[in-house]
Chain A
Amino acid sequence: DAGVIQSPRHEVTEMGQEVTLRCKPISGHDYLFWYRQTMMRGLELLIYFNNNVPIDDSGMPEDRFSAKMPNASFSTLKIQPSEPRDSAVYFCASSLPGAVGEKLFFGSGTQLSVL
């Protein structure tokens, strides 16, 4: 299995631009998580889906952030408009059916820099 696949690996954009991050979970996993990692705040859960349905989006910092999961094999995290403080590494993770966080598998992350 290829594991959780995220794209792009690196994204550099200017303040005010729209940014879309993509994630393909491991086939058969029905939980999908989006995390953000910064030096100051560590890893923060932004949102998670179960069977393509958003379950908890309380970690989404502002309305500028939105996430979708149109099908079991694809999810996007969009920031519109982007701001310099959004610069971070964004991770996608998926897990097997059963329970939240049952053996998480992480993607390699997207390093986002907003200038």
Chain B
Amino acid sequence: KQEVTQIPAALSVPEGENLVLNCSFTDSAIYNLQWFRQDPGKGLTSLLLIQSSQREQTSGRLNASLDKSSGRSTLYIAASQPGDSATYLCVVNDYKLSFGAGTTVTVRA
């Protein structure tokens, strides 16, 4: 059974600092990996989707890397802003979706 772990569970940084969120998974035979953002009381918004054949994906200030062999993905958010405060979830797809518990990020103004 695929186990997805996100570390740290919570993170608080001052505005402008770069964020590094980690996701690890136990079975490397994955189809793709997706990072989501969840705001309190709201649904999940897709940020980046990395296919198993890719090493990274970028969108604006966001960059996600994937190292399938070691079972790791990292989400980098450059120059964080208070609006980046949210919970970030990693979802691993090995033809069944497995969710991490999330990292709750607080960016202090």
Residue ranges of A at the interface with B (Cβ–Cβ < 8 Å): 4, 33, 42-43, 45, 56, 91, 93, 99-109, 111
Contacts and interface: CB of A to CB of B under 8 A. Distances in A.
Name the 8 nearest CB pairs between A and B, nearest first: A106-B43, A101-B93, A106-B44, A43-B99, A108-B43, A101-B97, A42-B101, A109-B43
B61 interface: no
Contacts of B65: none
Contacts, number: 50
B31 A105 contact: no
Contacts of B42: 108-109
Nearest to A42: B101
Interface string B85-107: 00001010101110111100000
Interface residues of B, number: 21
A101 B46 CA distance: 12
A18 B90 CA distance: 33
Q: Mostly helix, strand, loop or mixed at chain A's interface? A: strand
A60 B70 CA distance: 32
Interface of B: 31-32, 34, 36, 41-46, 49, 89, 91, 93, 95-97, 99-102
A43 B6 CA distance: 14
Nearest to A108: B43
A40 to B, nearest CB: 10
A6 to B, nearest CB: 8
Contact of B97 (A100, A105, A108, A111): A100
10 contacts: A42-B99, A42-B100, A91-B44, A99-B31, A101-B31, A101-B34, A103-B46, A104-B44, A108-B43, A109-B43
Given A42-B101, A107-B43, 16 more contacts: A4-B43, A42-B99, A42-B100, A43-B99, A45-B96, A45-B97, A56-B96, A99-B93, A100-B31, A100-B95, A101-B31, A101-B34, A101-B97, A104-B46, A106-B44, A108-B42
Contacts of B101: 42
Nearest to B100: A42
